[in-house]
C-alpha cells in the first residue's frame, strides 16, 4: 500500500514565519516517526537559502494521521543545513531547556477573513457589523460566522490525535479560538503548528483566509485583537500549595520582559495597548482573575490552595509556540532557583 506523507516546516519569512508543505509517497509505511526519511527542499524559494546553495534538509520530529486525505500522515519537521546542523530559522532546535514536567495550554485565537472584502467573516463589504458584545461564544447566524470551517477543523484535529480541548467563538465577529494541551515545549509547539496547518488547509476549501495577525483590524478600532494565551504549570506549581511560589514566578517574569516580548509575536504592540483585555506592552502586572494583567492567576489556582497554573496573556496569535514555551520554562526555572 502507498501512503502519503505530508512534510510541513516553517519558512524564513520575517517577521512572522509561515507554513510550507509538500507530499511524498511511501510504500508499506509503518506509520512510525522513525520510518520517515530525512527529505530536502529548495530553500531559495522560502527565504532560507541562496540559489547557488539552495538545498536544505527536513528532519521529521512528529507524526500524526491525516484524517482529511486517504492513507495519509502529516509529518512535522525541523529545517537543517546540508551538514545536518539546525538552520537559523529552526526555533524548535534552539530550545535551550526542555522540561516535560511543564504542562502548556495554549489558547489560539485567529480571524477568518473573506478575501473578496479583506474583512473578517460577518463584516459587511462597506462598514462594520454591530459592536462587539454578542459574538463571544455567540449562537446564531447573526453572531457566529464561519462555524462550518471551525467544526470541520475541530473534527480533523481530534481524529489526528491532537490534544484539542475546546473551541469557541471569540469577542470580535469572525474571530475564533481553539485550545491545545501538551507537555513540554517541543510537543506543545508541534501540536500548535500542526493544528494551524490543518486550519489553513481546511479554510482553503471554503476560499477563506486565516489571519494570525494580532490586530488585523488596526489598533485604532474598538475590536479585540488575537492572542495565544499561554497557560502553564510545572510539578511544583501543581503541588506546592504556596502563594509565595506563584508570586516569585510572576516577579521573575517581570524582570525579563524584553526576553519574553521579543518572542511573543510580531506587531504585538498593536494588541497590547492596555485595552481589550490586555495589559500595555510597556507595563507588567499580575493579579488573581485579572484579564487586564500581563499574567493572570486563575481563581481556580487560589481556590485549590495555591496549586495549579498561571496564564501569561501577552503572547500574540502569530507567535511561535516553540519559542514561547521555551522562554516560559527558562524564566520559571530562574525563579525557582532563587527561592
Q: Looking at residue 219, what is its pLDDT?
A: 67
Q: What is the mean pLDDT of residues 165-186?
A: 97
Q: Looking at residue 280, what is its pLDDT?
A: 86
Cβ contact 189:106 at 8 Å: no
Phi, psi of 118 (to 5 degrees): 60, 30
pLDDT band at 100 (very low <50, low <70, confident <90, very high): confident
**CA triplet 229, 234, 238: central angle to 5 degrees?**
100
Spell out a b/e string for 231-265, using b for 16 or more CB atoms within 10 Å of the CB, else e.
bbbbebbeebeeeebbebbbebbbeeeeebbebbb
Cβ contact 204:115 at 8 Å: no
For 282-337, write each residue's pLDDT tens digit: 889 999 988 889 999 999 999 999 999 999 999 999 999 999 999 999 999 999 99
Cβ contact 297:310 at 8 Å: yes
Closest to 172 in 3D by CA, of 218, 209, 208? 218
Q: Is the pLDDT of residue 276 over 70?
A: no
Q: Looking at residue 277, what is its pLDDT?
A: 72
What rounded mean pLDDT belongs to the chain?
A: 95
Sign of CA dihedral 114, 116, 122, 125: positive
Euclidean distance between CA atoms 102 and 273, whole angstroms:
29
SS3 164: strand
For 54-92, write each residue's pLDDT tens digit: 999 999 999 999 999 999 999 999 999 999 999 999 999
Q: What is the mean pLDDT of residues 183-188?
A: 96
Euclidean distance between CA atoms 281 and 273, whole angstroms:
6
**Model confidence pTM above 0.85:** yes
What domains appear along the chain, each with residue ranges and CATH number?
2-80 (3.10.20.70), 103-337 (3.30.590.10)
Q: Looking at residue 127, what is its pLDDT?
A: 85
Give kind and range of the element (H or E) at residue 154. Answer: helix 147-160
**CA triplet 237, 62, 193: central angle to 5 degrees?**
70
Q: Looking at residue 53, what is its pLDDT?
A: 83
Q: Looking at residue 310, what is its pLDDT?
A: 98
Task: Work out whether strand 72-80 and strand 2-10 pair parallel, antiparallel, or are unpaired.
Answer: parallel
Euclidean distance between CA atoms 234 and 98, whole angstroms:
12
Q: Looking at residue 308, what is its pLDDT?
A: 97
The cell for 3 is 501512503
Euclidean distance between CA atoms 101 and 104, whole angstroms:
10
Cβ atoms within 10 Å of 268's Cβ, excluding its own: 22
Q: Is the pLDDT of residue 220 over 80?
A: no
For 15-44, write each residue's pLDDT tens digit: 999 999 999 999 999 999 999 999 999 999
Q: Looking at residue 304, what is its pLDDT?
A: 97
Q: Is the pLDDT of residue 113 over 70?
A: yes
Closest to 2 in 3D by CA, of 75, 63, 72, 69? 72
Euclidean distance between CA atoms 147 and 97, whole angstroms:
38
Amino acid at each position: 500500500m502507498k501512503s502519503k506523507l505530508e512534510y510541513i516546516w516553517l519558512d524564513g519569512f520575517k517577521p512572522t514565519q509561515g507554513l510550507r508543505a509538500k507530499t511524498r509517497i511511501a510504500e508499506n509505511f509503518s506509520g512510525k516517526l522513525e520510518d520517515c526519511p530525512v527529505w530536502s527542499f529548495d530553500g531559495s524559494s522560502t527565504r532560507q537559502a541562496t540559489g547557488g546553495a539552495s538545498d536544505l534538509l527536513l528532519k521529521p520530529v512528529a507524526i500524526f494521521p491525516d484524517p482529511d486525505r486517504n492513507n495519509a500522515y502529516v509529518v512535522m519537521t525541523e529545517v537543517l543545513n546540508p551538514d545536518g546542523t539546525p538552520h537559523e530559522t529552526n526555533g524548535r532546535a534552539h530550545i535551550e531547556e526542555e522540561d516535560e514536567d511543564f504542562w502548556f495550554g495554549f489558547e489560539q485565537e485567529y480571524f477568518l477573513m473573506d478575501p473578496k472584502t479583506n474583512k473578517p467573516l460577518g463584516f459587511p463589504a462597506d462598514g462594520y457589523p454591530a459592536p462587539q458584545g454578542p459574538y463571544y461564544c455567540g449562537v446564531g447566524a447573526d453572531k457566529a460566522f464561519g462555524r462550518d470551517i471551525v467544526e470541520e477543523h475541530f473534527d480533523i484535529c481530534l481524529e489526528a490525535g491532537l490534544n484539542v480541548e475546546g473551541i469557541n467563538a471569540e469577542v470580535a465577529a469572525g474571530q475564533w479560538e481553539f485550545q491545545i494541551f501538551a507537555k513540554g515545549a517541543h510537543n506543545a509547539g508541534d501540536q500548535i503548528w500542526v493544528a494551524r496547518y490543518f486550519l489553513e488547509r481546511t479554510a482553503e476549501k471554503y476560499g477563506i483566509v486565516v489571519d494570525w495577525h494580532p490586530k488585523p483590524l488596526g489598533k485604532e478600532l474598538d475590536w479585540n485583537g488575537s492572542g495565544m494565551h499561554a497557560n502553564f504549570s510545572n510539578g511544583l506549581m501543581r503541588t506546592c500549595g504556596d502563594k509565595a511560589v506563584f508570586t516569585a514566578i510572576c516577579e521573575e517574569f517581570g524582570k525579563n520582559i524584553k526576553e519574553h516580548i521579543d518572542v511573543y509575536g510580531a506587531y504585538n504592540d498593536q494588541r497590547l495597548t492596555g485595552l481589550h483585555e490586555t495589559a500595555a506592552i510597556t507595563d507588567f502586572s499580575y493579579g488573581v482573575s485579572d484579564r487586564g494583567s500581563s499574567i493572570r492567576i486563575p481563581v481556580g489556582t487560589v481556590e485549590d490552595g495555591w496549586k495549579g497554573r498561571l496564564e501569561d496573556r501577552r503572547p500574540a496569535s502569530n507567535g511561535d509556540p516553540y519559542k514561547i514555551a521555551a522562554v516560559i520554562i527558562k524564566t520559571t526555572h530562574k525563579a525557582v532557583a532563587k527561592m
